[in-house]
Amino acid sequence: MSALPTSAVIGVIGAGAMGAGIAQVAAQAGHSVILHDNQPGAAKAGIDNIRRQLEKRVAKGKMIQGDVDNIIARLQPADAIDALADSHLVIEAIVENLEIKRQVFAQLEALCSPDTLLASNTSSLSITSIAANLERPERMAGLHFFNPAPVMKLVEVVSGLATTTDVAETLYDTAVAWGKVAVHASSTPGFIVNRVARPFYAEGLRLLQEGASDAATIDALLRQAGGFRMGPFELMDLIGHDVNYAVTRSVFDAYYGDTRFEPSLVQQALVEAGRLGRKSGKGFFDYAESAAKPQPTFAEPANMELPALVVQGANSTLAPLLERAQEAGLNVVYRESLQQDGSPRLYLGDLVLAISDGRCAAERAVNEGLDALVLFDLCLDYRNASAIALAASHTVSPEARQLATAFFQHMGMDVAWLTDTPGLVVLRTVAMLANEAADAVLQGVCSAQDGDLAMQAGVNYPRGPLAWADSLGLPFVHRTLTHLQQSYGEERYRSSFLLRRNALSEESFHE
């Protein structure tokens, strides 16, 4: 199939932020667009707002006035739904209420041509359920844009149980023709992004609840070590806790209480207190003009002479860190022997440093017979990361802590000491994101390629979770999840069967 031609008329229902944004995208792509809202004057107001936003771009030299005039000329407001009768595609972007959406699509089916494609921008409701009462449910699908639609690249093309392949492919090709990054998804709770992203918030909330560190430090680590554009707490404050908590509750309920999606009591308390984030002036952080910007808790400078760094069993993950250490002037000595599980160790005198594997430092020190163990977190790029999380076994002396601090600071990294917690911050977050993405692939929600693409284009992740897992080695990711599950004794951390199978068979997700 191919994209709808620009001669095809596009109908959009709902002139709020999402509906108007979608209308703008279609008009910019060259289509005539009819924007309908049942509130008198709302559609015209939506188009007027589009004009204002585009003229701001003209003022900044990013557009010319002629292009703005052409786009606005292609937008037609309509207070009556009958104006959509000749549309080739109608996209609904109204309130997230199943019955109201069903009523709207029943009206459209009676009004429009049998060949008209019908799409919902719903982010949480089942496409199968919305289309269930239609005479021709096969022509309906989800076309889930992300806010703001003119800016965000991703569109999830969501197939319900009855949606035909031709309809899904036409919508996919049309979204691409509109300049979007399109992915296919099946109609399951959360589709791709809102499902796979749950651990990003959930693990941050869990770490905060357990006192592993404070919100500002966890945010900083996921930015500076993990490469994420925002940390979970600042992002939840931006989204709004009422919205974010509601999505988590929706996915949790839709999966019959699967503990992997369990909502947080910490976030519930914020919602109950009306501390919804930026829009209310306070969430995890205070947004009053007089409020001080929260700062992460990093270790004070530890100026001390460093012994040679002895490396036992280097691997590709840690190679950039070791190169960085050498470039910083440290004496790095390599040993050939490996641990039984193949995991590398670094030695600074009697102090052992090792990358986390999902166990807490105390447990690992006991299991491996070590006198003093400091675990360090995963980084997206050890060569350029500007911060790192550490945790120590109970046997590590204050002097040994200082030594570990000095080692990473010598390479220009801020050091955040966490309480001894399994998986630290970046590793457990990435492992859980990859695990959820693997389950989405296993259950036919999306392909591995579309799962990764959706998370990068939809929520700006630095890498697709499955590609990241491939680069770390699936046996390591599976072992991390197994250790997390053993540490907590919870099904929440169970490894996806697909991830486990690929780890055992040494198959990657992107072969």
What CA–CA distance (Å, rounded) separates 229 from 248?
21
Catalytically annotated residue among 32, 87, 123, 213? 123
Residue 274's identity, in one-letter code, is G
Closest CA to 425 of 376, 462, 363, 491: 376
Catalytically annotated residue among 31, 36, 88, 144? 144
Q: Diameter of the chain by CA atoms?
A: 79
Q: Do the Cβ atoms of 314 and 285 come closer than 8 Å?
A: no
What CA–CA distance (Å, rounded) separates 45 from 324?
56
Radius of gyration for the chain, computed over Cα atoms and rounded to the nearest angstrom: 26
Q: Do the Cβ atoms of 218 and 231 come closer than 8 Å?
A: yes
Catalytically annotated residue among 194, 244, 393, 435? 194
Residue 363 among the catalytic residues: no
Residue 356 among the catalytic residues: no
**Backbone φ/ψ region at 227: left (φ over 0), alpha (ψ -120 to 50), beta:** left
Residue 159 among the catalytic residues: no
What CA–CA distance (Å, rounded) separates 27 from 355?
51
Residue 184 among the catalytic residues: no
Catalytically annotated residue among 36, 120, 121, 156? 156
Q: Do the Cβ atoms of 353 and 346 come closer than 8 Å?
A: yes
Helices within 184-330 (DSSP H only):
193-196, 198-209, 215-224, 232-239, 241-254, 265-272, 319-327
Q: What is the DSSP string of 381-417?
A: -TTT--EEEEEE-TT--HHHHHHHHHHHHHTT-EEEE
Return the DSSP state at 259.
Answer: G
In the numeric block, the tokens 């959706």 are attached to: 454
Which residues are annotated as catalytic?
A: 123, 144, 156, 194
